Chain A
């Protein structure tokens, strides 16, 4: 019983982390119809950058995060402007393959520089139990993940729904020609969207690095999680990613509870496949179907 409650609590909190891993991928898909295969690798790249900055150059993890954000926003903007924008009008496949190429480059560059060792981002509170009851306990890292996820998703929702920036981004995805006619430089907004997605990837990179160890090749594993979150919630639905994260997190932990820890990741994959089969466009979908 105790273990079951602990599994459910951990599953929900883990779901928050999964949501923030997926949210960047979701807005990229929702706005420009692009499946960014490099999303997981970009997130792990942020983890490495934060680790390097926080251990080598600055004392504070927050400052390391901010520096990383600047780097990743520039990288994301350039990547979108010079590579993806060049092929995005030629159908889904070329753009998908460009991101695929980037993902290979990132993980191999990381491997080249850092080697295959497990890394982590150390913080003071990560392993401390901040809540501890008879039935369950919550570690600082997990609680932080969940709170930050809710804050980020709420902030993104506000930006997309209520600001001129958000409206311009939505108009570009709603009807590209009409958006141009309103004076929106749609390709510029694609690049801005990519930059915003990079910000979420940096935050996710910090949280993942603070919660688990990571390797140069961890990106693939998190890409699949991001994809799972996004397909369960519906590509392009920001609120849906929270739902997707929770379902996936809970599913994994309950899978582990009932079938053993070896089944944790597998049960996540199976949930994704089942949901993809019965709801091929996600539970809360408002995706742009090209």
Chain B
């Protein structure tokens, strides 16, 4: 981990019609870090992540990835810059086999050449996916789906992976397992930006954290130094965050 910023979000606003979902959001994600994005439902986390990925377009502000302005680019172009996302609800391709899902991860032409090597790497990280290689993805369990979504993200050999709602609906054992893999992948230099519903787990598993309330950032810093109680107040919207 370095102090170099890989993803800079600068003063970003996103509105849907009259509704301003996020406003004046500024963040610096450091290269090689695991950064948590904490906030209750409706705080604007997914809107922000979708804006980074080009799924919605900011009305104001800039998003700079790896030194390049990606604001307003098409999603399929942004992915080519080396940033990808395991979206909320995993969004695996239900009608395809596990293997085909992984191959789709390496869809970008320059990554296709490396696909054998990448698949090997993914299978070492997630042996269960190798077992189910030929099965239709719709038959996977919740935990396996999340693993497949992360594995599929790794298949594009990215510099940075965004995980939206990484633990949603999963059993604690499996969540632990998934975070272990995240740390392992992070060890090889991949930056992570993670959204998790659980405040304690978010802080514990990350180097830095940003806390969002009602579409804006209210707190940020090294995860170890952030006061957990205050983060929880923000998360639940009580005390001064009401």
Contacts and interface: CB of A to CB of B under 8 A. Distances in A.
Interface centre among A170, A175, A182, A184 (most CB of B within 10 A): A182
Contacts of B209: none
Interface string B57-101: 000000000000000001110011000110100011111100010
Given A170-B95, A174-B94, A181 B87 contact: yes
| Cβ-closest 3 pairs across A and B | A180-B75, A178-B91, A183-B79
B103 interface: yes
Contacts of A174: 93-96
Contacts, number: 67
A183 B76 contact: yes
Contact of B84 (A168, A181, A185): A181
B160 interface: no
Interface centre among A170, A171, A183 (most CB of B within 10 A): A183
B46 to A, nearest CB: 11
Interface stretch (B104-112, B178-186, B199-207): B104-112
Interface in A179-197: 179-186
A279 interface: no
A190 B237 CA distance: 44
B95 A183 contact: no
Contacts of A179: 93, 104
A82 interface: no
B191 interface: no
Interface of A: 164, 167-168, 170-171, 174-175, 177-186, 286
A63 B55 CA distance: 44
Contacts of B112: 164
Interface of B: 53, 55, 74-76, 79-80, 84-85, 87, 91-96, 100, 103-105, 107-108, 112, 152, 156
A164 B76 CA distance: 15
18 contacts: A164-B107, A167-B100, A167-B104, A167-B107, A170-B93, A171-B93, A171-B96, A171-B107, A174-B95, A180-B75, A180-B79, A181-B53, A181-B75, A181-B84, A182-B79, A183-B79, A184-B76, A184-B104
B47 to A, nearest CB: 14
A3 B80 CA distance: 63
B93 A183 contact: no
A185 B105 contact: no
B76 to A, nearest CB: 4
A287 to B, nearest CB: 11
